Amino acid sequence: MGGPLLEWSRAQFALTACYHWLFVPLTLGLALVMAIMESIYVRTGDETWKKTAQFWQKIFGINFAVGVATGLILEFEFGTNWSNYSWFVGDIFGAPLAIEGIVAFFMEATFIAVMFFGWNKVGRGFHLASTWLTGLGATLSAWWILVANSWMQHPVGMEFNPETVRNEMVDFFAVAFAPEAAVKFAHAVTSGWMTGAVFITGVSCWYLLRRRNQRMALDSIRVAAATGVVAALLVMFTGDQSGLDVARNQPMKLAAAEGLERGGKGAAFSIVPGVEVPGMLSILATHDPQGYVPGTRDILEGYTDGEGQAHPSAAEKMERGRLALAAFRDFRAADLAGDTNARNEARKQLETHVDYFGYGYIQSEEELIPNVPLVYWSFRAMVGMGCLLLLVQALLWWQARRGRLEQTRWLQHAGLWSIPLVYLAGQAGWIVAEVGRQPWAIQDLLPVGAAVSSLSAASVQTTFFIFLAIFTVLLVAEVRILCRAIRNA
């Protein structure tokens, strides 16, 4: 299952998503830190804090504008490139996106105007509230987007209707407030806080290296580095909780992230190939040193987990998926012929096997294994850079608190070069999340090959390069505008 159309459609969506995620985490992180800074200004009345907050709000505004543009294109691609997906689950997937656009985005748009243009026009308290509400609006946007993404990873709250050939929502609250969505949201948002903190400390270190705006830089580092340390610890905690969800709902993703072909009890964690920590993977995946973790071959061949539950082999799932597709075709034929008995029998058969509906489109067991090297090394890049960033943020906060940061130039350089690292860590995390669940557009329900639109590969290829050029121009323009704003401060 594949071909040029599928590969180019995946590449185009990946391109748009990667560019979009360059802007989203910085928006979330700057929103929090600049609100804290303005809160300090309101509490102390120190005009220096007001100027500091205004400066970071300017940076926030530049980044926010470009992020909106890429986000809109990303949502449109569900209709243009993945129309079968949109038809099959649009009733469910569209709901959180609609709420995000109607409620959260309009909340941001309303209060962001007060935040930027309300200085000296509204009271301090009202302006501060607008700043916090702008950040809250951005965070609520992230909630609904991540609810939609989490549902793709673990679909709940729906039933398949063979009469409309759609999955229809039957429990909105199960979709909107799924535990997996809460964990994914917390992990993504705290990583955004960390991105904003690292960006602010990095820019502030640049000022220190050039001996400019030193009061603003040191104040910014004290607030942002403390935020970065707390955010990094929260990222680790939520990442641990996310790992439990992945082990329970997407064992193939976990096996790929570990490069684990054969699992078992007391599974070892691979730091790099050939260097392992005995029992650590079982602890991370199950919080039990003797917990059972399946490998890729175990999942394909079928296994019994630590709780004694038997999981069918890939061959059995594929066979049951074909039975579901055959029952669906029989249902449609009986419905057109007006044969009520045959229709009811086909529907009963479909309901028996519908949980494996998506496997009916899988042609080979090997399709069920994602790109193991890419997922394996992306996971290690994410974790390794995250730990390094935590160390740098902690050192920056400690040295600034002791009044020694201005003399520690190597640490200033480390803070500056942390900026690209935090972006690489974020991109690596999304590679693990999205590549790790391939070949599924919706886990176990709809493979990407069945979700793609009926387009010519050439048209998708052409728009890929058009988007690449446009996004690159936007990125270069934003970086230049940001650099000019930073230099001129």
What is the CA 343 to chain-centroid distance, rounded?
A: 42
Write out the two tokens for 459. Answer: 């048209």
Which whole number is the average pLDDT over 408-424? Answer: 96
3-state secondary structure of 369: coil
Per the prediction, the chain carries an average pLDDT of: 92
Spatial CA neighbour of 21 closest among 470, 454, 465, 430: 430
d(CA 204, CA 185): 29
d(CA 399, CA 407): 9
Tens digits of per-residue pLDDT, 336-375? 898 889 999 999 999 999 899 999 999 999 999 999 999 9
315, 330, 361: which is the final residue of a domain? 361
Same domain for 151 and 189, yes or no, is: yes
Give the domain extent around 96.
Answer: 4-250+370-487
Task: Return the ∠ at Cα 371 (arms to 370 and 373), rounded to 5°.
Answer: 135
Residue 468: its pLDDT value, please?
93
- The residues, any chain, with a CB within 8 Å of residue 26's CB and separated by 6 or more, are 63, 67, 192, 195, 196, 199
Confidence label for 40 from pLDDT (cuts 50, 70 and 90): very high
Residue 474 included in any domain: yes
Residue 255 included in any domain: no
Tens digits of per-residue pLDDT, 145-199? 899 899 999 999 998 888 888 888 999 999 989 999 999 999 999 999 999 999 9
Same domain for 166 and 292, yes or no, is: no
Same domain for 285 and 322, yes or no, is: yes
d(CA 153, CA 445): 10
Which whole number is the average pLDDT over 84-97? Answer: 86
Q: 209 vs 49, 190, 278, 409, 461, CA distance in Å? A: 21, 28, 44, 7, 45
Same domain for 102 and 187, yes or no, is: yes
Residue 336 included in any domain: yes
pLDDT at 33 over 90: yes
Residue 347 included in any domain: yes
Same domain for 279 and 420, yes or no, is: no
d(CA 148, CA 172): 12
Residue 256 included in any domain: no
Same domain for 157 and 135, yes or no, is: yes
Q: 293 vs 32, 143, 300, CA distance in Å? A: 38, 30, 14
Same domain for 203 and 62, yes or no, is: yes
Same domain for 110 and 179, yes or no, is: yes
Q: Which residue has the higher pLDDT, 62 or 199?
A: 199
331, 361, 391: which is the final residue of a domain? 361
Which whole number is the average pLDDT over 202-216? Answer: 94
Backbone angles phi, psi at 158, to 5 degrees: -145, 165
Confidence label for 274 from pLDDT (cuts 50, 70 and 90): confident
Give the least confident one: 94-103, 410-419, 447-456. Answer: 94-103
pLDDT at 28 over 90: yes
Tens digits of per-residue pLDDT, 140-155? 888 998 998 999 999 9
What is the CA 402 to chain-centroid distance, rounded?
A: 36
Residue 104 included in any domain: yes
Residue 242 included in any domain: yes
Give the least confident one: 87-101, 341-355, 389-403. Answer: 87-101
Omega cis (within 30) before 439: yes
Same domain for 128 and 209, yes or no, is: yes
d(CA 41, CA 204): 19
Same domain for 114 and 197, yes or no, is: yes
361, 392, 427: which is the final residue of a domain? 361
- On the 0-12 / 13-18 / 19+ scale of CB atoms within 10 A, 380 is middle
Residue 270: its pLDDT value, please?
92
CB environment 269-303: b (16+ within 10 A), e (fewer):
bbeeeeeeeebbbbbbbbeeeebbbbbbebbbbeb
Placement of tokens 């509230």 in the chain? 129
Residue 277: its pLDDT value, please?
94
Residue 377: its pLDDT value, please?
97
Residue 2: its pLDDT value, please?
63
pLDDT at 1 over 70: no
Q: Tally helices (H) and strands (E) across the chain.
A: 17, 10
pLDDT at 279 over 90: yes
Tens digits of per-residue pLDDT, 95-128? 888 888 777 777 777 888 899 898 888 999 999 9
Domains held by the chain: number: 2
Which whole number is the average pLDDT over 424-439? Answer: 94
Which whole number is the average pLDDT over 426-437? Answer: 94
The answer to whether the predicted template modeling score (pTM) of the entire model surpasses 0.75 is yes
Same domain for 195 and 317, yes or no, is: no
pLDDT at 306 over 90: no
Same domain for 427 and 347, yes or no, is: no
Residue 257 included in any domain: no
Percent of the chain with pLDDT over 90: 75
